[in-house]
Structure formats: structure tokens, C-alpha cells
């Protein structure tokens, strides 16, 4: 029985979130380092730890054994400050209220950076049963440890969680691997993947489980 409904934030509750020209691949190209190496260090520093812009950039460069430059600082600053605030759709706010009214716990679970300003409205934050950012947990949605921490905080079993998000790996495959149920928020031709294309479909999904 599902007791907790978990939502990804960027791309799910906050739609149309884009990296523009500030992706990890762009960063790897800027510093002339292999993408796979940069990706690992980027996640460890910017998604799994807290600090100021300067502290995080310094740590990032230290781990990659490169010199801190103005270009790197500006890249990171622009990545997190140039993104315009994207507001939640009214119907998604109402969906969360609906879930709470039907006695589900609602949490937000996101791979995020402390430099990223939240656009989640206060009336949603105030009714959520937990907001779990990777930089607070010290782990991302790709790390098994994050699921155990959340389960312990909510005092619920893995099978009592349903996670919804738009990243096939971190929002669908990883939750399932950790015993949670999951819905992929996006289109797919793979019939083995449980997916939705509108968050309103969560209501029907939960009703069928009762």
C-alpha cells in the first residue's frame, strides 16, 4: 500500500527546466577534461555538498587538479543564476493538496545544488512531509543511501513509496532498484516502463492500487 508520494522537482513539478549552454558536457569542454571524469566530480561537489560559490568551485577544481579560473566561476554562477524562475502549474499545486487530503504523505526528492534557488511556492512547502535535496542528504537519487535515509525519516517501508520524475535512470530505475514503486514522467515506447504524461494520472494509478 502506498503511503508516501515522492516528486522530483526540476522537470517534473517545475517544468521546462533547461541547462541551456551550461550542461556538464559544456563544462567538460570548457576545462578540457573527459566528460565522465567531470560528471563524477561535479556530482560529488555540486550535488552532494554545501558551500558558497567560491568554496564549491575551489573544491571542484582541487578534485580535478586544475586551476580556478574566472571562466569556471562564471560558468557555475550563470548555470544557477541565469535560470529564470519557473513557477509550478496551479493544477500541480492542487494535485499535491488532493494527495494530502486523501491521507498520503507527500515529499519532494531532488538532485540539486545549494546555489539553486527554489521556486516551490510556500503553500506547497508548508504541507509537504519532507523536502530532500541531495546536497542536504550527501547523496543523490543514484545512491542507495539516500533512499534509506528518507525511509528512516518517514518511518515507512520501501514498498510504501511511489516516486515520480522525468529522468528514466534516477527517477525510475533507481527507486525501483531500491524497492520503491515509481512512475516515469515522460513518453516511452518501452511497455515494461510504467509511465505517465500528465501528473493528474497519478490519481488513477493510486486508486487502482486500493
How confident is the prediction along the chain (210 residues), in pLDDT tens digits per residue?
999 999 999 889 998 655 567 889 999 999 999 999 999 999 999 999 999 999 999 999 999 999 999 999 999 998 887 555 677 889 999 999 999 999 999 999 999 999 988 789 999 999 999 999 999 999 999 999 999 999 999 999 999 999 999 999 999 999 999 999 999 999 999 999 999 999 999 999 999 988
Based on the fold, state whether residues 58 and 132 are members of the same structural domain: no
Cell of 132: 530532500
Could you tell me if 33 and 191 are in contact, meaning their C-beta atoms sit under 8 angstroms apart?
A: no
Could you tell me if 68 and 58 are in contact, meaning their C-beta atoms sit under 8 angstroms apart?
A: yes
Could you tell me if 54 and 77 are in contact, meaning their C-beta atoms sit under 8 angstroms apart?
A: no
Based on the fold, state whether residues 204 and 105 are members of the same structural domain: yes
DSSP state of 14: B
Based on the fold, state whether residues 133 and 42 are members of the same structural domain: no
Based on the fold, state whether residues 107 and 197 are members of the same structural domain: yes
What's 109's domain CATH number? 3.40.50.1000
Identify the domain containing residue 68 by its residue range: 24-81
Number of structural domains the chain divides into: 2
Tell me how many degrees the CA angle 177-180-184 measures, rounded to the nearest 5. Answer: 85
**Model-level pTM?**
0.93
Could you tell me if 142 and 170 are in contact, meaning their C-beta atoms sit under 8 angstroms apart?
A: yes
Based on the fold, state whether residues 202 and 100 are members of the same structural domain: yes
Amino acid at each position: 500500500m502506498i503511503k508516501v508520494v515522492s516528486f522530483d522537482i526540476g522537470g517534473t513539478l517545475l517544468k521546462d527546466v533547461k541547462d541551456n549552454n551550461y550542461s556538464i558536457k559544456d563544462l567538460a569542454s570548457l576545462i578540457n577534461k573527459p566528460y565522465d571524469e567531470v560528471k563524477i566530480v561535479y556530482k560529488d561537489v555540486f550535488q552532494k555538498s554545501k558551500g558558497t560559490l567560491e568554496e564549491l568551485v575551489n573544491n571542484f577544481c582541487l578534485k580535478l587538479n586544475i586551476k580556478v579560473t574566472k571562466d569556471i566561476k562564471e560558468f557555475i554562477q550563470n548555470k544557477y543564476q541565469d535560470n529564470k524562475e519557473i513557477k509550478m502549474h496551479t493544477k500541480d499545486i492542487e494535485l499535491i493538496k488532493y494527495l494530502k487530503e486523501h491521507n498520503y504523505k507527500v515529499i519532494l526528492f531532488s538532485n540539486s545544488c545549494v546555489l539553486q534557488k527554489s521556486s516551490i511556492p510556500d503553500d506547497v512547502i508548508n504541507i509537504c512531509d519532507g523536502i530532500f535535496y541531495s546536497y542536504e542528504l550527501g547523496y543523490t537519487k543514484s545512491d542507495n543511501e539516500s533512499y534509506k535515509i528518507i525511509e528512516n525519516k518517514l518511518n515507512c517501508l520501501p514498498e510504501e513509496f511511489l516516486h515520480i520524475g522525468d529522468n528514466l535512470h534516477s527517477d525510475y530505475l533507481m527507486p525501483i532498484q531500491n524497492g520503491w514503486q515509481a512512475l516515469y514522467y515522460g513518453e516511452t515506447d518501452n511497455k515494461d516502463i510504467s509511465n505517465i504524461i500528465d501528473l493528474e494520472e497519478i490519481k488513477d494509478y493510486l486508486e487502482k492500487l486500493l
